[in-house]
Amino acid sequence: MEVTAASVQDRDAAFSVLAQLEAHSDRLLHLYADNIYRGFLVEFVSYVSDWVLEIVEKPADQKGFAVHPKRWVVERTFAWLVKFRRLVRDYEYLLETSKAMIQWAMVSHMIHRLAKLQDQS
């Protein structure tokens, strides 16, 4: 996970995220990215690893709102995060605190999901 200042463009932070993913390279095969990452990043990923970076594009004939393939995963994750009141607004002064709050929220979410699975068994 990478948390940066608002002044850092997503495409610029992508390289540090890819460096973090290197530790999981034995499990990763396919990555999905938004249109902003088109171009150099796709070539870079194919050059430095065996991963495939697929750009999720809007269908050419789309008019109005439509769910894009794989995009719902990102939107769903943001919805999970917003359930934690502290993450609804940006209260943190330090990036490290923001990162810790996001990790805390996702760990809490995973614990709740595991507890539901345990109840179903």
* pLDDT tens column, 95-109: 788 888 888 999 999
**Tokens standing for 104?**
């805390």
- Helices 10-21/40-48 angle, 10° precision: 10
pLDDT band at 5 (very low <50, low <70, confident <90, very high): confident
Rounded to an integer, what distance in angstroms lies between the CA atom of residue 3 and that of residue 5? 7
The predicted pLDDT at position 1 comes to 66
| Residue 58 confidence class, pLDDT cut points 50, 70, 90 | confident
Mean pLDDT (whole number) for 42-52:
84
The percent of residues above 90 in pLDDT, for the chain, comes to 4
Q: Specify the pTM.
A: 0.63
| Mean pLDDT on 35-41 | 81
Domain locations in the chain as residue ranges:
1-57, 60-121
Q: Is 106 buried (19+), middle (13-18) or exposed (0-12) by CB count in 10 A?
A: middle
pLDDT beyond 80 at 90 = no
